[in-house]
Structure 1
């Protein structure tokens, strides 16, 4: 995994096709390959500029920290997500022709990336709260984004980059640790962290790294990309 400054091209331009990963804030990730951009979960705690560059957006679930209609302003990107997400966007006046419902088990290609949806439900917050639909997404068979869940990838050992939630009303750090350990060879990229202060991020990162000693742990900074 090679960290680079955002916008800097990979030096080995004639080597294998490289995917550049950038974090847009909270749980939102941009993936770029061959000049084509896919954005995951552009919500109200993330930056939206790269959505306007994207061919496609995939959304895990309807909570506003993962999708808001205004994230799509100025964008022609097509959007894939669970029915509950599509309903939110339709209610906001987003053109139906741009929207595709994705259910667990569906496999599709967007912006040059092969994507498969897994899981089914948002992690439990409290038994009195009705469950939400939540898709976890496996991208190009090696990049795994669980949305708001700890769904395990179908072949955990094949995952090379694990987008890992670290702070939320629905999780305990022990669950995050178990999620990481279930994917034994992946680089851990922390996400879902906008509710933490800088001190909280440092404490949480430190605790995780102690429990998963020896595993690569890469926090992507705001101006940085990670090449895979």
Structure 2
């Protein structure tokens, strides 16, 4: 299988776990050196390990997809045991990203669209937007009666409006999504609590970055810079940070 182009939110989580997997080895090594040779060598090893793991995380931009055969078997087992909107959404995402089965993924999601589940609806609209069908994606969001109270749906709606160059409308939607997310959070996608926490940080950061992009287009550079900073502080990996282009001048 080829490389999968993950969403920034998912990529960030992968990169963090990659960092942890490397850094934990250096932590154990540092503890051993501290016990065996003294704290100075242990601290030195800890610092070197942190820097090494961080640099490797920054450089890591691609992660191999899971094995096709085992993934297909797992998907088939899960979908026969669980047909909830959450399971359908995950199944469709795997069809689309891992197997490039666009038609099957869209057809499956549309079959269960009347459940009005926010995660399922957001998954469908996101795939449609990726397939350059923004009008269809927009109608998918608008058909959901709860879209204006679901932060994840509003993120996708903001992306659609941004794609359609409706910058002021996108700004309003992104800001409303941020306000809702602070109160109720994002829909749970079946991951553990820590991963969900990381995804929440990543989603929030990308909303701020998207707002920054919108404000750049509308020439409000002060607000653009503010949102880039608010997004950056939520990303531990500085390779994901955003800033105003060097040719853009703004008044603080």
TM-score norm. by structure 2 comes to: 0.30
Structure with bigger RCO (C-alpha 8 Å, 6+ apart): 1
Higher helix share: 2
Larger proportion of strand: 1
Rg (Cα) greater in structure: 2
Normalized against structure 1, the TM-score is what?
Answer: 0.32
